């Protein structure tokens, strides 16, 4: 409860201070609208915002799915072949030094103004954390458990699926949560390059019309959608890894439980 209470209280204090300052100093709405003006803009433009949000979610969902698919394959390749991993990994890091806003116009030139360039922008934005965290999770799998599987005659494929993949699930969900929060941002950036719908279009049109309260309303929707995606992935992580969130579980009990499960897999003579 405290984890939620303190952030909510802090935001409430900021909003009260913001509202008071905007009213006291008579700040123009086009320069810095008050929270109450932003709330009214959210309500007045709710239908328009809903339509634009659906378009952005379609782009974000498709791009994120593509990023996860490509990221998981690359992570498996990096883990399976050290030579390939040493060749690909530096290129992955170097790719993150190029701002996505620079690549977006090229994608528009190559693929037009349809859905595809926006999906590719989202995929390029999201795939890096998925690749890195999953590859690190696979590499960090317990060596003793892998040796135990080898001693029992397991193949490399069986070791990968039975020992490495379960160990990499926590790292995978960390990457998914990071990438998922980037998905909406990537979609908005792609929409800035040219399209007929989406939250990026809503923000651009509102800014050009000096409807600053609508710009803030769009920002609020983007933040809310990103938080919702993060929360959904958090729930999926809890469903996939219930042992990590079990109440009253200590580090020692986790180790004991893991050791007991591993011992239980050893065939008895």
Could you tell me the pLDDT band of residue 101, with boundaries at 50, 70 and 90?
Answer: confident
For the chain, which domains are there? 51-241 (1.10.3720.10)
Query: Is-contact 169 244, C-beta < 8 A?
Result: no
3-7 mean pLDDT? 78
Q: What average pLDDT does the segment 174-190 reach?
A: 92
Dist CA 218 CA 50 (whole Å): 10
Residue 8 has pLDDT above 80, yes or no: yes
Q: What is the mean pLDDT of the chain?
A: 85
Compute the distance between CA of residue 172 and CA of residue 211 in angstroms, rounded to an integer: 41
Residue 56: the pLDDT is 94
> Running DSSP on this structure, what letter comes out for residue 1?
-
Instruction: Kindly state the average pLDDT of the residues 144-153.
Output: 89
Look at residue 243 in the predicted model and tell me its pLDDT: 79
Residue indicated by tokens 């659906």: 54
Task: Give per-residue pLDDT as tens, 184-222.
Answer: 999 998 888 877 889 999 999 999 999 999 999 999 999
Is the model's pTM score more than 0.85?
no
Position 165 pLDDT exceeds 50: yes
Token pair recorded at residue 80: 């399976």
Report the alpha-carbon distance of residue 257 to residue 126 in Å, rounded.
34
Q: What is the DSSP string of 97-118?
A: TS-HHHHHHHHHHHHTTSHHHH
**Shortest CA distance to 218 belongs to which of 63, 57, 53?**
53
60 neighbors 183 (Cβ within 8 angstroms): yes
Contact 163, 142 (CB under 8 A): yes
């Amino acid at each position: 409860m405290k984890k939620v209470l303190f952030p909510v209280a802090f935001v409430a204090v900021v909003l009260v201070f913001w509202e008071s300052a905007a009213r006291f100093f008579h700040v123009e709405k086009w320069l810095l609208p008050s929270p109450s003006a932003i709330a009214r803009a959210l309500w007045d433009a709710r239908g328009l915002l809903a339509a634009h949000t659906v378009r952005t979610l379609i782009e974000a969902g498709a791009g994120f799915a593509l990023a996860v698919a490509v990221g998981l394959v690359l992570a498996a390749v990096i883990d399976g072949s050290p030579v390939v991993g040493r060749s690909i990994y530096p290129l992955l890091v170097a790719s993150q030094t190029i701002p996505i806003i620079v690549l977006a116009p090229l994608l528009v030139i190559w693929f037009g103004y349809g859905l595809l360039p926006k999906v590719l922008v989202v995929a390029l934005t999201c795939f890096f954390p998925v690749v890195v965290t999953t590859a690190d999770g696979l590499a960090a799998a317990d060596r003793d458990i892998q040796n135990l599987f080898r001693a029992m005659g397991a193949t490399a494929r069986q070791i990968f699926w039975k020992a490495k993949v379960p160990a990499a699930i926590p790292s995978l969900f960390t990457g998914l949560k990071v990438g998922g929060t980037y998905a909406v941002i990537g979609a908005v950036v792609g929409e800035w390059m040219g399209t007929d719908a989406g939250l990026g279009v809503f923000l651009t049109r509102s800014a050009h019309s000096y409807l600053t309260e609508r710009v803030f309303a769009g920002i609020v929707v983007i933040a809310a959608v990103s938080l919702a995606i993060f929360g959904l992935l958090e729930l999926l992580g809890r469903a996939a890894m219930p042992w990590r969130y079990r109440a009253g579980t200590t580090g020692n009990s986790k180790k004991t439980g893991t050791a007991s499960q591993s011992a239980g897999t050893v065939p008895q003579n």
